[in-house]
Structure 1
Amino acid sequence: MNLDELRTFLAVVETGSLVAAAKRLNVTPSTVTARINGLEEEIGQKLLHRNKSGADLTSPGFKFRRYAELMVQLWGQARAEISLPRGFEGVCNVGLDFDLWEGPGRRFLDHVRAHCPGVALAFWPGEQRMIDRWLAIGLVDIAFCHAPQEGERFASHVLFDDELILVSREAMAAPLMDASYVYVDHGDEFRRQHAAAFPGDVTSALVIASSDWALDHLLRNGGSGYLPRRHVAQALDTGALHRVGNAPGFRRRVYVVENAQTVRPWGWYASALAAAASH
């Protein structure tokens, strides 16, 4: 098994055909076929159903895809770490929940760039299950996320509690859970808190699992929804959004999870983490 075979397999999956993959990779279709055949021979399973209309994953191919993606990612990370430009003392690979760039992710980056110029950074955005896997395989050294990590290799610390508040483009004296309400999905704990606070049926024609996307939608189209205060602070200050009166607030805990052995010798890390946690 080699990287060319893995990249070719992923290109076929992403483009849907061997011919399209050949064009993307700038090789001949026969080369693509040979690489896929070689990979399947090594795995001992058919990974793709091939037909005139294209190629689809088999059940073994579906399972193998995520491993292929991880192997290609790990190779890219290894190259990045080994080929650091002269003058850099190391690299910090950061896993980041999509909603945590605004705030801790950006503050961490700004601090390191301003005060630790010898440290290179790589950011990997993803949802919680992806971050858990990246931590487990060592793809990331630290992660800003919403769930602590178990295991002796990891240390989990509470960074802060996000305050989730109900906001709307139009001033409202009380929550109005009608068709204009946007259900912003902030995870399991939020779902429980929300159900307890609003035990009746909540009419929502739209569910968005991203604070950034939900904020954009509210600003462009109106309506109301629960968002982190740090996401909407500027919009509240300018009057573009309003906090809904008499609406309950919720909290969502933010953690930093570290590979304890990796971060131990980093003299710069404590101050960067303090910057990430500041408000």
Structure 2
Amino acid sequence: MNLVAVNTFLTIVETGSLVRASERLNVTQSTVTARLKGLEAELGQTLLHRHKSGVSLTSNGFRFRRYAEGMIDLWRQARQETSFPKGVGTVCNLGCHVDLWPGLGRQMLDEIERDYPSAVLSAWPGNQVLLEQWLGTGLIDAAITYRITTHEGQTMHTLGEERLIMYSTRPGHRPGADPGYIYVDAGGDFGRRYTAAYSSEDFARISFGSAVWALEYLMDHDGAAYLPEHLARQALAAGQLHAVDDAPVFTRERYLITSDKAATGWPWLSDVIGRLLQS
């Protein structure tokens, strides 16, 4: 498949018209049109609806867009990695769930950098869905996450449980109805377990899909929330947060998913996993 045509398609989608795409790519509009038609002919599908005001994606265009973005990202990554100077050792492109970067994600990169200073490393934040997609397309070589479906050619390493504890900005806070309570969606079956424990309580007025964001918000407002223990440790030590007595404690597993092909070039993998398990 012609990557120039794929990049042209993405530029049209981003700019919203063939005219603006031609200006950005510094080519004629007829060239942009020819590239798009060639791509659609190769796929046997119409990717864009043409309007007087611009373009819009067809249903097939929506589906193709995700793969097109993956192809361009992989090409950029390939160009970067094949242009490394002599002396470069192992390469690791790590994806990490945003709530795990302050702990395991940062630690993993630090461990590799300390013991293998010639390693080339990159880190990408994402949620569980994105991390699974990136692993599947090869955009990343490994992912630190909570729950993910592994596929052929991938290995799952268990990194132990993480405790989710209710913290409050007010000492002596008791679990129960609280207008300042923030609900943090911890994914998996957390919602079911949380509902069973607090079935009689009012719903939270504010909710977050990231514990990192929730913690940042909590530091500027009075309230309470369930947060990963490792994430709240610093604020707890500084007296900014207080563990809520008698509140149920929940847990969730953490995993490192690795590409088997990439991991063959990682002499550090078993040592790093061992140290992550000790943290």
TM over 0.5: yes
1:14/1:86 CA distance change after superposition, 3 Å: same
Say whether the 8 Å CA contact 1:169–1:222 is kept in structure 2.
Answer: yes
1:172/1:25 CA distance change after superposition, 3 Å: farther
Classify the secondary structure of the residue corresponding to 1:99.
coil
Aligned length: 279
The alpha carbon displacement at 1:251 in A equals: 0.6
Say whether the 8 Å CA contact 1:134–1:140 is kept in structure 2.
Answer: yes
Counterpart for residue 198 of structure 1 = 198
Say whether the 8 Å CA contact 1:177–1:204 is kept in structure 2.
Answer: no
Structure 2 unaligned regions, length at least 5: none
The root-mean-square deviation of aligned C-alpha atoms, in Å, is 2.1
Classify the secondary structure of the residue corresponding to 1:188.
coil
The alpha carbon displacement at 1:26 in A equals: 4.1
1:63/1:242 CA distance change after superposition, 3 Å: same
Q: In structure 2, what residue type is equivalent to 1:85?
A: P
Counterpart for residue 131 of structure 1 = 131
Counterpart for residue 97 of structure 2 = 97
- Deviation larger for 196-205 or 261-270: 261-270
Say whether the 8 Å CA contact 2:184–2:207 is kept in structure 1.
Answer: yes
The alpha carbon displacement at 1:90 in A equals: 2.7
Q: In structure 2, what residue type is equivalent to 1:231?
A: L
Q: In structure 2, what residue type is equivalent to 1:77?
A: Q
Counterpart for residue 160 of structure 1 = 160
Say whether the 8 Å CA contact 1:173–1:246 is kept in structure 2.
Answer: no
Classify the secondary structure of the residue corresponding to 2:21.
helix
Classify the secondary structure of the residue corresponding to 2:176.
coil
- Deviation larger for 13-22 or 82-91: 13-22
Distance in 2 between residues matched to 1:102 and 1:143, nearest whole Å: 14
The alpha carbon displacement at 1:234 in A equals: 0.7
Say whether the 8 Å CA contact 2:176–2:201 is kept in structure 1.
Answer: no
Classify the secondary structure of the residue corresponding to 2:100.
helix
Say whether the 8 Å CA contact 2:150–2:257 is kept in structure 1.
Answer: no
The alpha carbon displacement at 1:152 in A equals: 4.7
Classify the secondary structure of the residue corresponding to 1:122.
strand
| 1:98-120 deviation per Cα after TM superposition (whole angstroms, max 9, x unaligned) | 21111111011111222201211
Q: In structure 2, what residue type is equivalent to 1:50?
A: R
| 1:237-279 deviation per Cα after TM superposition (whole angstroms, max 9, x unaligned) | 1112222222111111101112234324522222223343442
Structure 1: 4+ residue segments shifted above 6 A = none
Counterpart for residue 83 of structure 1 = 83
Q: In structure 2, what residue type is equivalent to 1:73?
A: D
Distance in 2 between residues matched to 1:183 and 1:149, nearest whole Å: 26
Q: In structure 1, what residue type is equivalent to 2:17?
A: S
TM-score by length of structure 1 reads: 0.91
Distance in 1 between residues matched to 2:64 and 2:152, nearest whole Å: 28
Matches within 5 A, 1:1-279: 1-147=1-147, 149-279=149-279
TM-score by length of structure 2 reads: 0.91
Identity %: 44
Say whether the 8 Å CA contact 1:170–1:242 is kept in structure 2.
Answer: yes
The alpha carbon displacement at 1:84 in A equals: 1.7
Say whether the 8 Å CA contact 2:132–2:148 is kept in structure 1.
Answer: no
- Deviation larger for 124-133 or 98-107: 124-133
Say whether the 8 Å CA contact 2:156–2:255 is kept in structure 1.
Answer: yes
Structure 1 unaligned regions, length at least 5: none
Distance in 2 between residues matched to 1:51 and 1:152, nearest whole Å: 43
1:244/1:78 CA distance change after superposition, 3 Å: same
Classify the secondary structure of the residue corresponding to 1:93.
strand
Classify the secondary structure of the residue corresponding to 2:35.
helix
| 1:76-108 deviation per Cα after TM superposition (whole angstroms, max 9, x unaligned) | 222222222221023112121121111111011
Say whether the 8 Å CA contact 1:81–1:90 is kept in structure 2.
Answer: no
